[in-house]
């Protein structure tokens, strides 16, 4: 019994470590090595069984990675850039496997929810401390300054805040000092001043409450949210907001206003010498260079991509690294859809979309949706949105793929507990 308890404790430590590692270390190499070692430790344990549904789900990401490997070996050199892409494309596979295995072994939903919230609150407190430190030191603070010094986003905090707000109504898990920890997370969320986090929070909360289901009530909430967002943008486009305003609220509203153009603006309208305009539409620019590289290649490149190790030529040295010269060639894009297309072609992109579809297909459409299913819908909603702006599933600092595996297993547990099926 003691040995079993020790093993479960080790799994709990592994889960906390995987949630935290991307926040603790800024280095890509350190994060990659530590994450891989922890995941391999989890998967090396005996008697870990995976369901057929889960194996199909994970096989979709393995196919994407395999396409990129084969294409990369044929087209590109095997070196540092190849290895970086290998980790980019396989990181979510490892974390999803680990999340599933850990929840299967622990089988304690209270630990799952409380650990996510506890880790998120810890990093929220650090974020608020850094914000206060910067604001005190810089009386003429700006939104850009706050985000540069204290951090640009935290998906884990976003997830925890969405769950806690939903939990006020659902009362799924009892938390001590729930109002206080919700306040800490809410304040931290506000000071990230992130457009993506704001949009995702709205849809993730609706999903956690179960209102993204295609029912009359769910459609009403979706329509209401869409109208609110449309009204906000109608207002933003009707007023002039100074890009260089010293007021933080103006900075935030300006970034919110240009968000659609930042992603979808025509590449021909961008001048690399006009840096202010270029930074406002950077995501669109780098995506256009990736599409241009596919156009310059062969037809088969559109089907299988350019593979691991392929680099996107920006046509100038951009200040994207610590090198004074800048960086001209990049591997990872902000647009996750274009990234998958560039590396694995239309076949990989189709599989990427199918991966999200399969996650949210209920086990039995005639049953009432389970709480873990609603959370998975929220996670998929996050990835659908974030794939336009922060690389989606392949975001380097994203620990949420760990939760995909964790809640996929939790959904199986809840489903099996409410049916005659045994596994």
pLDDT at 7: 79
pLDDT at 250: 63
Could you read off the pLDDT of 31-47 as tens digits, one per residue? 778 778 888 888 787 77
End-to-end CA distance of the chain: 23
d(CA 117, CA 120): 5
Of 176-180, 310-314, 361-365, give the lowest mean pLDDT range. Answer: 361-365
**Mean pLDDT, residues 272-298 taken together:** 82
Could you read off the pLDDT of 44-84 as tens digits, one per residue? 877 778 899 999 999 999 999 999 999 999 999 999 999 99
Q: How far is CA 252 from CA 183, 247, 259, 311, 317, in A?
A: 21, 9, 11, 32, 27
Which residues, in sequence order, are CB contacts of 70 under 8 Å at separation 6+? 307
The runs of H, that is alpha helices, within 193-247 are 195-208, 216-238
pLDDT at 366: 40
Per-residue confidence band for 403, with pLDDT thresholds at 50, 70 and 90: very high
Structural domain boundaries of the chain?
Answer: 2-417
d(CA 281, CA 286): 9
**Using N-to-C axis directions, what is the helix angle for 80-106 and 2-24, rounded to 10°?**
140
Could you read off the pLDDT of 221-246 as tens digits, one per residue? 667 766 776 776 676 666 677 666 66
Per-residue confidence band for 364, with pLDDT thresholds at 50, 70 and 90: very low
Could you read off the pLDDT of 327-342 as tens digits, one per residue? 899 999 988 999 999 9
Q: Is residue 187 over pLDDT 80?
A: yes
**Strands (DSSP E) found in 89-197:** none
Of 123-127, 225-229, 278-282, 311-315, give the lowest mean pLDDT range. Answer: 225-229
**Mean pLDDT, residues 286-302 taken together:** 91
d(CA 26, CA 17): 15
Burial string for 108-134 (b: 16+ CB within 10 Å, else e) reads ebebbbebbbebbbbbbeebbeebeeb
| pLDDT above 70 as % of the chain | 81
**Mean pLDDT, residues 113-131 taken together:** 94
Per-residue confidence band for 423, with pLDDT thresholds at 50, 70 and 90: very low
d(CA 401, CA 95): 6
Per-residue confidence band for 271, with pLDDT thresholds at 50, 70 and 90: low
More confident residue, 390 or 275: 390
pLDDT at 421: 42
Quote the mean pLDDT of the chain: 83
pLDDT at 117: 94
Q: Is residue 363 over pLDDT 60?
A: no
pLDDT at 5: 64
- Tell me if 342 sits within 8 A of 306, measured CB to CB: yes
Q: Is residue 272 over pLDDT 90?
A: no
pLDDT at 40: 82
Which residues, in sequence order, are CB contacts of 320 under 8 Å at separation 6+? 326, 327, 330
Q: Is residue 367 over pLDDT 90?
A: no
Question: Distance of alpha carbon 407 from its chain centroid, rounded?
Answer: 15
**Mean pLDDT, residues 295-308 taken together:** 93
Give me the sign of the Cα torsion angle 122, 126, 127, 129: positive
Q: How far is CA 65 from CA 93, 297, 345, 392, in A?
A: 9, 21, 12, 15
51: Cα within 13 Å, side-chain hemisphere: 18
| pLDDT above 90 as % of the chain | 37
Per-residue confidence band for 371, with pLDDT thresholds at 50, 70 and 90: confident
**Mean pLDDT, residues 3-28 taken together:** 79
pLDDT at 372: 84
Give me the sign of the Cα torsion angle 75, 76, 78, 81: negative
Task: List 330's β-bridge partners, or say none.
Answer: 312
d(CA 403, CA 103): 10
pTM score, whole prediction: 0.87
């Amino acid at each position: 019994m003691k040995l079993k308890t020790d093993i479960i404790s080790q799994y709990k430590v592994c889960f906390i470590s995987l949630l935290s590692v991307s926040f603790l270390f800024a280095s890509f190499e350190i994060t990659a090595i530590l994450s891989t070692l922890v995941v391999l430790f989890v998967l090396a344990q005996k008697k870990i069984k995976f369901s057929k549904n889960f194996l199909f789900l994970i096989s979709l990401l393995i196919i994407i990675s395999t396409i990129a490997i084969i294409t990369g070996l044929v087209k590109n050199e095997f070196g540092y850039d190849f290895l970086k892409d290998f980790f980019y494309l396989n990181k979510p596979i490892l974390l999803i496997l680990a999340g599933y295995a850990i929840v299967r072994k622990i089988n304690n939903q209270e630990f799952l929810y409380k650990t996510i919230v506890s880790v998120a609150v810890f990093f929220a407190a650090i974020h608020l401390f850094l914000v206060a430190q910067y604001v005190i030191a810089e009386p003429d603070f700006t939104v850009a300054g706050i985000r540069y010094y204290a951090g640009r986003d935290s998906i884990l905090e976003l997830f925890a805040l969405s769950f806690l707000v939903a939990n006020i109504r659902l009362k799924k898990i009892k938390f001590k000092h729930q109002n206080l920890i919700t306040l800490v997370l809410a304040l931290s969320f506000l000071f990230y001043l992130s457009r993506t986090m704001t949009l995702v929070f709205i849809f993730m909360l609706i999903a956690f409450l179960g209102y993204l289901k295609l029912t009359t009530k769910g459609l009403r909430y979706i329509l209401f949210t869409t109208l609110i967002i449309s009204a906000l943008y109608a207002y933003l486009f009707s007023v002039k907001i100074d890009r260089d305003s010293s007021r933080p609220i103006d900075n935030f509203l300006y970034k919110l206003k240009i968000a659609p153009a930042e992603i979808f603006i025509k590449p021909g309208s961008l001048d690399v010498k006009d840096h202010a305009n270029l930074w406002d539409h950077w995501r669109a620019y780098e995506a256009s260079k990736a599409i241009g590289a596919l156009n310059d290649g062969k037809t088969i490149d559109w089907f299988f991509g350019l593979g691991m190790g392929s680099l996107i030529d920006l046509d100038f040295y951009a200040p994207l690294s610590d090198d004074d010269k800048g960086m001209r060639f990049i591997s990872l894009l902000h647009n996750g859809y274009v990234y998958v297309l560039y590396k694995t072609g239309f076949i990989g992109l189709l599989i990427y979309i199918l991966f999200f579809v399969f996650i949210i297909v209920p086990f039995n459409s005639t049953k009432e949706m389970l709480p873990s299913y609603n959370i998975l819908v929220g996670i998929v909603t996050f990835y659908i949105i974030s794939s336009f702006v922060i690389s989606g599933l392949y975001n380097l600092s994203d620990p949420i793929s760990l939760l995909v595996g964790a809640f996929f297993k939790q959904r199986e547990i809840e489903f099996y507990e409410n049916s005659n099926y045994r596994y």
